[in-house]
Amino acid sequence: MEISELYKIYKQYPEVSTDTRNAPKESIFFALKGANFNGNEYAEKAVDRGCSYAIVDEAKYATRPNIILVENALETLQELAKHHRKQLKTPVIGITGTNGKTTTKELITAVLSQEYNVISTVGNLNNHIGVPLTILRIKKEHEVAVIEMGASHIGEIKLLSEIAQPNYGLITNIGHAHIEGFGSYENVIKAKGELYDYIRSTRDGKIFIDFDNSLLREMAEGITSIDYGFEEDLFVSGKVISIRPYLVFEWKFGNKRNKVKTKLIGEYNLMNTLAAVTIGKYMGVKAPLICKAIEDYEPTNNRSQLKETDRNMLIIDAYNANPTSMHAALENFDHMDVSRKVLILGDMKELGPDTDMEHQKVADYISNHSFDKVIFIGDNFSRVNTNYPRFRDMESLKDYLTVNPIEDSYILLKGSRGIQLEKCIDML
């Protein structure tokens, strides 16, 4: 079946699903495959539960007229999204970067939603499946789309850009992450730069750029840019006022200065908020509405969250970790003017041959700064040269905390998602 023919079906049934457990009635079910499942096996169940059509790529499952056989269900999903995007006039903002993608995407969405009908990536559905699903959610009434793009290999951002076809691009930053997949830091730079490459290839594409990031400036050569950062002559400039413990910052546009009290932890979030301010101002959102949107925004899902318990104050940043975000979190915590600082740090994943070196760097940094208590969790941290307590898993840590409770402290919990640091929150 030609994509144009499938698109006619999509126009009649404009909801798409990949999971029979939450597939809406009269939607189109795409039978995708994973390491431990084959979506083709659920095609009949999908139509039995009310899906109008199912798309499969194994002939033996095309048992009904409304179960359509294609060569590759995933590629068909991507091509359908690409075809849909070409029909839309909705401007798309594409976002990638090593750290801060999701927070920045949510801040931008909050700001633009003050004036526009905005659609954006749900959660962190930012991969080769999530991006086409998001594009297929865009309707004519949507005035702006904010699309997050993640990657762990070269070529992924290129693919996602070709699907989303962004009019505007934003790279939050480039750091040491997913080295196992990319192979080297140089390849991380090349991969993230694929968003700039796509914008550069378009006629009217523009980027929003952290002007203080010399690497991004170098990569952005030849692209029209809207700049933000510390310098006062930029489109938007800003500075940190306080981090006790929430980020308070000031931003300036023209001759007008605005002070914003956020619910975000960390001075490293300044550039994420300035990105949202810049895009808001560029798209005509009034300054008071920009400030309100950022002040009202509350982080979720263990991303820079502040949580007060009966015994302690927790800074929960346990959704992900890489060397760049780890050092940013440690520096911010070190600068915070609070009493009794405790670190509970979990392994950083997907660092390949750099694993031991990067974990040792963290231990060395900590030993040169004043923290009242330090605890490491995970196989990687178990190999570092240090005298700090180390535990291989969360169960061992929980046993330790039962005997050695922590009280009257500010505690930073930072680690990769696989460590599941959130499991010890109830004990703190």
DSSP per position, 261-315: EEEEE-GGGHHHHHHHHHHHHHTT--HHHHHHHHHH----TTSSEEEE-SS-EEE
CA angle 417, 245, 306 (to 5 degrees): 40
90 labelled ligand-binding: no
Cβ atoms 114, 289 nearer than 8 A: yes
36 labelled ligand-binding: no
**Any idea what DSSP says for residue 325?**
H
Neighbours of 222 (CB within 10 A): 9
Cβ atoms 93, 145 nearer than 8 A: yes
How deeply is 154 buried, as exposed, middle or buried, from its count of CB atoms within 10 A (0-12, 13-18, 19+)? middle
102 labelled ligand-binding: yes
Neighbours of 320 (CB within 10 A): 21
DSSP per position, 73-127: HHHHHHHHHHHHHHH----EEEEE-SSSHHHHHHHHHHHHTTTS-EEE--TT--S
300 labelled ligand-binding: no
How deeply is 199 buried, as exposed, middle or buried, from its count of CB atoms within 10 A (0-12, 13-18, 19+)? buried
98 labelled ligand-binding: yes
Annotated binding site for ATP: 97-103
Annotated binding site: 97-103
